Amino acid sequence: MPQDLVRALSDAAAPQNQSLVFVYGTLRRGGSNDIAQLGQLAQWLGRGRVRGQLFDLGAYPGLVLGGPDWVVGELYGVDSSAQAWLDELEEVWPQRSGEYRRVQALVSREGQSCRALVYEMDRSIARRRPLIPGGDWIEHLASRIV
């Protein structure tokens, strides 16, 4: 997809003064760290998906970007204070743990694509853990309970 079109879609999707963020694990609706707890600081924009693989780390998943598979998640518009909260939760700020890094990824949403921030797991950590078939953390949790 041409970069100008990706930029235009990203600008149109994110409310003013907000960044787009893609969440795929405990930050999703109903998750243990549901981003909705931030109220108006995190505006739900819909479901989306990214190319990658999802790994089960026990209490939370880890995403590794790339490849032919899809990971299911949600797209939000967040302001700078919500972004700071997310960075701290994922331990990329103030003290970077090395487990996650914040990167830009191409998110597919309703037949269109946009760029959003995503927290990608260190590949060496994630690949030692079980792969989550289907790339959906919430669905995976439900299957573990049954």
Residue 89's CB is within 10 A of a number of other CB atoms, namely: 15
Q: What region does 37 belong to: left with phi over 0, alpha with psi -120 to 50, or beta?
A: alpha
What is the rounded CA–CA span in Å between residue 34 and residue 28? 5
> Measuring CA to CA, how many Å separate 53 from each of 23, 61, 89?
14, 10, 21
Burial class (CB in 10 A: 0-12, 13-18, 19+), 39: exposed
Distance CA 93, CA 82 (A): 13
Catalytic choice (90, 110, 120, 139): 90
Q: Is 120 a catalytic residue?
A: no
Catalytic residues: 90
